[in-house]
Amino acid sequence: MLAFIQYQLQSYIRSLRFIPPVILFFVWVFILYAYNYAPILSSYAVSSIAIYLAMTWITMSVFTLDEESEKHILISHLKSKVSYLFGKWLTILIVMIPLLLFAIFFPIITNSFKGNMTISLYAYAFYSHLAFVAFGVIVGTLFSATKFATKKYSWLSAVLMIVVSLGSKSLIEMTSLFKWILWIFPPVFKVVGYMEGEDQVIFNTTFLKDSVFVVIYLMIAAVLLVSLFKRKER
């Protein structure tokens, strides 16, 4: 597995596909903190959304690195389709680490916040960014490694899913009918909903329930993606 991850990282770097999403992410964060005295939580909410977009893009790029023939050879060497999928995910998470650290620590190093960081703010910053990384990996995998990965519309479908998930709160407010449809989309407002207003996080029962919902959603999504990937590669 380690050799496979190393090979994937080398292939991804050589392909230069990482340049557009990474540069756009860095530019987004630079612009976000162009002025000092930025609010902490709402700024982290914006960078969380940025990492959501970047990780969806990176995930789709990593999963489309291999040609079909090369993919089958790699799966045969790994002796498991699931190992191939997990290897891809681990590769993506390694690529994610510098982006995550940059998003969280850049405004602290440049003293861009108007308030002071606390342990609870650090904890929620990591939680929100990791949750959105996971959302991006889920969306990217769905539209690049399953039967939903049609060449013509995969990128458009991924963008549509991101837009709907980001606008789900407004859609639900328009009509309660959407509440029963939008549960299949990443629950982004179960995360960023706590990053509005004052720079403090209240870890109450509602927060705990929403966090558990997010974790359960990600676990179910991962299980479904494994099943969909195995069906595609029959």
3-state secondary structure of 37: coil
Q: What pTM value is reported for the model?
A: 0.93
Which pLDDT does position 95 carry in this prediction? Answer: 96
Q: What is the mean pLDDT of residues 153-170?
A: 87
The token pair at 108 is: 């602290």
Beta bridge partners of 38: 113
The model's confidence at residue 207, banded by pLDDT at 50, 70 and 90, is confident
Q: What is the mean pLDDT of residues 69-87?
A: 89
Length of the chain in residues, anyone?
234
The token pair at 135 is: 């959302």
Which pLDDT does position 122 carry in this prediction? Answer: 92
Which pLDDT does position 71 carry in this prediction? Answer: 86
In this structure, of 7-16, 49-58, 182-191, 196-205, the range with the lowest mean pLDDT score is 196-205
CA angle 214, 217, 219 (to 5 degrees): 110
